[in-house]
Amino acid sequence: MLIAPGSKLLFIGDSITDCGRARPVAEGNEVGNGYVSLINALSGVLYPASGIRVFNMGVNGNTVRDLKARWRKDVLDQQPDWVVIFIGINDVWRQFDTPLRTEQHVLIDEYRRELENLVRQTMPHVQGLVLMTPYFLEPNQDDPMREAMDVYGQAVRELAAANNAILVDTQEAMDSLLEQMHPMSLAWDRVHPNQTGHMALALAFMRAVGARLGG
């Protein structure tokens, strides 16, 4: 696995990452009940001697603007070895569920610019950076919100390639489930997944960082 033994692995994002984590800083058994907790468990099972410390700094409802405002305190001041950024769902969603509140909308140019700024601030201080694309649990790629989410996901892919960051394509991971499952069997709102969806996210992350999953 690319993450060295003893590393401090920090996740930051929105509600998909938060999942009831402890405040102000969540580590180990306090990282909530979502994909971060599953990654913590998988790391312990697959690499029990690694001593990897997993931290969760997700906050419900966050967009890339919110990450920008708390980046120093919640990321850089924590001095992580690896940082995982999973942001973008609310940046898109607010354009659809609150279309008249345009001041809340993070359009693609701002999203790309601010995410790139966070990446460039962080890269000199860490051993590795992981970017996770946003997703929408909708198999119809012509659906307006799915179409928009794919644009934001493409921006993440391009930033990962340009900055030598590891990419986790969460939309691809979810699409593989949607080939056999209805979106509402994974998430009633097509965004907040059940444990099956969270496990798909966790496994996609572990594969991206080179974990040996067996089989």
Residues catalogued as catalytic:
15, 189, 192
* Cα gap 116→63, rounded to integer Å: 14
**CA geometry: angle 89, 65, 162, nearest 5 deg:** 75
How does DSSP classify residue 178?
A: H
Instruction: Enter the tokens of residue 50.
Output: 């690694």
Q: Is 186 left (phi over 0), alpha (psi -120 to 50) or beta?
A: alpha
The distance of Cα 40 from the centroid of its chain, to the nearest Å, equals 14
165-89-194 Cα angle (round to 5): 100
The Cβ-side half-sphere exposure at 80, using a 13 Å CA radius, reads: 29
